């Protein structure tokens, strides 16, 4: 007889059993209740959010520097001490 483990209580049960004799939960419902799909994607969404934030900061800082540098290159060179 093949044995499995109940994911709810950890009791060894028959692989053919539909209900755990210890906790009374159904065996088929364990796979659908294990973890919602959005929880599986949480890390990926965090990484995308952090990369988007970092790209926005770099673009803002780059735009703040290159905007005046392109409009008034002499003033920027003077501020840097080159002229």
Q: What is the pLDDT of residues 12-61, one digit of tens each?
A: 888 888 888 888 888 764 444 556 666 667 778 888 889 999 988 888 77
- Regarding predicted confidence, which is higher, 66 or 25? 25
pTM above 0.85, yes or no: no
DSSP code for 7 = T
How far is Cα 3 from Cα 20, in angstroms, rounded to an integer?
12
- Regarding predicted confidence, which is higher, 68 or 44? 44
Vertex 65: Cα angle to 57 and 62 (nearest 5): 30
How far is Cα 62 from Cα 68, in angstroms, rounded to an integer?
10
- Regarding predicted confidence, which is higher, 58 or 68? 58
């Amino acid at each position: 007889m093949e044995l499995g483990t109940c994911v709810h209580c950890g009791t060894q049960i028959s692989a053919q059993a539909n209900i755990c004799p210890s906790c009374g939960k159904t065996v088929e419902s364990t796979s659908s209740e294990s973890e919602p799909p959005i929880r599986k994607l949480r890390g990926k969404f965090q990484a995308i959010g952090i990369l988007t934030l970092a790209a926005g900061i770099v673009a803002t800082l780059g735009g703040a520097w290159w905007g005046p540098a392109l409009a008034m290159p002499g003033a920027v060179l003077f501020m840097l001490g080159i002229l």
